[in-house]
Structures are given as C-alpha cells and as structure tokens.
Amino acid sequence: MREVWKPQNVSELQSAIKDALSSQITLELRGSGSKRRLGRKVHSNVLVDLSRISGITLYEPEEMIITVRPGTPLAEIEAALAQHNQRLAFDPPSYVALWGASSDHGTIGGAMMTGRAGSRRLTAGGPRDHCLGVKAVNGFGEICAAGGRVVKNVTGFDISKLVTGSFGTLCAVSELTLKTHPTPNDTVTLALLGLDDVTAVDTMRQAMSSSCQVSAAAYLPEQITNHFANNTLPPHISATLLRLDGFHPTTRARAETLSNQLKSIDGHQLIPCTESRPLWMEISNAQCFSQNIEHALWHISVPPKNGPEIIDHLRSMFKFDYYFDWAGGGIWVEIKNQSHDYSTEIRQTIRDLVGGDGHATLMRTPHDLIDVAAPFQPLAPEIEAITRRIKSQFDPMGIFNPGRMYKGI
C-alpha cells in the first residue's frame, strides 16, 4: 500500500511538497479520485489526498465569481451557485458511470485539472475559459499565484489557463477563482428526427449560423437513441438536437423561428425544459456508454464538418457505436470489442483526414490495456519538447503526478 498524506490546508500542502523534494519521492495528487481513470495511471511513492483542502472561500454572485479550494465537491459548489440562480457555464461533466463507479461527481479541482467540458463547450468555452486565477504550490515548494478575481485581466502570463487541464502535472493547486454564470430560466430543445449524419451535421451548421442563439447541437444516430434513459426521444430513429437557453417565453419564440428556418426538413419536435436538461446532461456525460465498461471509449475532436467523414472511414475498420456533440466536432465512439482500443486506426484516420486539426482521447481503457494505452494524442516532437521544458520549469524534480499525461510528463 502506498502512503497517503492528507494535508488540511495550504501550509501543510507546502510542507508535504518540501518533504517530497527533500526525500526525493513522487506524489499523486488526487481530489475524490472520480476522474482517476482518465489519463495514464500514475506510479508514485505517495498519494496526496486533497479532499480536506476544501470549501468555498469567497462567492460574490453580483461579481459573478467564486473562489474555492480544490477539494470542494462539485455538488457543494453547484448547490451554492443554485441558491443564486447561477452555475458553471461549461457543464462540468461526470464520467463515473462510464467506469462503473458510484455517483461521486468529484471535486472542482478534478474538474478543472482534467479540463473537460460538456455540450456547451461549443458556445460557452471550457474550464480554461472560466478559470480567472489560481494559487498553487509549485515543484520548488513555493506558494505562487497567477491571474486574479476579475473577468478582464491581462496582468502577467495567463498561467491559470496553463494549469487548467494540466492533470496536476505542473503544481498542486490550493485555490481557484472561477467565473459563474446565470442559469437560464428556460432550456428547450428542437429535435429533428430521422436525419442521416451528413444532413444532420449540415443542419447543425445552419442552426449554429442562425441568429437564434443555439447553445449546443448534438446528433444521436438511430442505433443510440434507445440507449438514452431520457424517454423523450422516440427509439430507433435518429435525433438531431438543437438547444436554446434563455428567458421563457423567448426561448420558444426562437425555437419557432429556427424551426421555420429548417422547415425543409420533416419531423420537428420541441422538448421542454424539464426533459431538455436531463437529456443534455446525459449527452455531456456520455451516459449511454455506461453499459459495457470493458469496451474502449473515445472522444474525438475534429472540425465539425469532418465528423461524418471520420465516422465513415472508421466504419470500414471496426464495429462501434457513436454520437456527435459540438455540432459534429465532438464524437463519442464506443468500440464493440473488449480486446482492442484501435488507437492506431483512429489516430491515423484523423491524421489522414484533418492533419493536425484533430485529436482523440481514450476516455475508457479496457483493463488489459491500461499499462500500454496512450490515452492522449501523442504530441508533435516540437510541442513535446516545449511541454517538457515547461514541466521542468514548474516541477523540475518531476514529483507531481509523474506520467499522468505522457511518459515523463
């Protein structure tokens, strides 16, 4: 068993890191561990459990900011925000069901360090767009801060963005300041039934180009609609979903305008707020892929118009289920096979079709492949070189989450 350290506050965290430096030991930084299956497995001497460095230290709804410690459960933050009709706009996803775990939604530290966003990534940005400031202990054992607590800030390098999505490989974050956003008082979804994926992606493009303020767009092929717990969708027919957030009743007016603009397509259905919200949560969390937890699951990011073409190529190579989020640019692919992840085929297809304009992340690795899989897209040599130099300027002894993103990083 690895030793577990549970620092209670930033000064204990700093002590722990200084100890690690002087004893030359490596650390795995962990919040609740709900996202530990994402990325490479960390082999470290000690597990640093950050769950006690927890709590909201400042919440100013009128300023639309919140300052939190990394171990704060997401649920606690969401509940505090909900009291003021606010939320985190990037739809922080929960993937625990994908890995067959219980309903722990994780901590804010985990959500920010893994850098994942749900359906609204397309229009609201990701965690990196919502992180205004960080405080952390770096790999020199120093407490340092970057950014601030105001929305508009260009003072110094934007280290908050660099740290967000770094999987804890650069520093141990002790505090984060995030943007908050009003929760729209209505969310409706215009569903178009029965489209093929090429028509669906083109329709999503039209919708995103309209002035109807579509906030998210997804396409669920007919094979997948009956895997959704939400029973709003008719089974065995594809659904192209266009989400509209805003003020009731203007959301409906916009949905009608949009429906008129797309009237050359048959089969329109309006999904009201009570069903829209859980439906989009299922889409953000890829919940429909939580049945076969030993099957590899990929998230592919490409320019939206290339989505159908990528799927078409993969079809000739292996069997899978899929759906599009991000108007076609975010593709979830579940391999129907326990023994392969097809990473070579998937990454080669992306290279062939979109060059450097796309990448694939292995979101769920079959157990037998855990030690050999490359969950993140390999970096171009020149980008890998600068990444290593940055790592060594934050964590010169390589004590934080060694190998979590890439070998040696």
Residue given tokens 């070189």 in the structure block: 385
Residues 271-290 that bind other proteins (CB under 8 A): none
Q: Which of 74, 176, 212, 288 binds other proteins (CB under 8 A)?
A: 212
Q: Which of 304, 308, 366, 402 binds other proteins (CB under 8 A)?
A: 304
Structure tokens at 366: 């079959």
**Residues facing 173 on adjacent strands:** 136
Q: Which is nearer to other proteins, 145 or 193 (CB)?
A: 145
Considering the complex, what minimum distance in angstroms separates the CB of residue 234 from other proteins? 28
Residues 100-119 that bind other proteins (CB under 8 A): 115, 117
Considering the complex, what minimum distance in angstroms separates the CB of residue 51 from other proteins? 12
Q: How far is CA 351 from CA 108, 246, 261, 358, 393, in A?
A: 33, 38, 35, 8, 31
What is the DSSP code string of 125-194? --HHHHEEEEEEEETTS-EEEEE-SSSS--SS--HHHHHTTSTTSSEEEEEEEEE-EEPPSEEEEEEEES
Distance CA 56, CA 73 (A): 10
Query: Which residues neighbour 26 within 8 Å (Cβ) at sequence distance 6 or greater?
Result: 20, 43, 44, 45, 46, 398, 399, 400, 402
Phi/psi of residue 134, each to 5°? -135, 150
Distance CA 107, CA 54 (A): 9
Q: Which of 21, 101, 273, 369 binds other proteins (CB under 8 A)?
A: 21
Quick note: the x/- pattern for other proteins over 214-243, rule CB under 8 A, is: ------------------------------
Residues 350-379 that bind other proteins (CB under 8 A): 354, 356-359, 361, 376-377, 379
Q: How far is CA 86 from CA 79, 231, 311, in A?
A: 9, 27, 37
Considering the complex, what minimum distance in angstroms separates the CB of residue 166 from other proteins? 6
Quick note: the x/- pattern for other proteins over 241-260, rule CB under 8 A, is: -----xx-xx--xx--x---
165 makes contact with other proteins (CB under 8 A): yes
408 makes contact with other proteins (CB under 8 A): no
Residues 31-90 that bind other proteins (CB under 8 A): 60-64, 85
- Only segment of 30-38, 227-235, 289-297, 386-394 that touches other proteins (CB under 8 A): 386-394
Q: Which of 73, 109, 221, 329 binds other proteins (CB under 8 A)?
A: 329
Q: Which of 37, 121, 243, 404 binds other proteins (CB under 8 A)?
A: 121
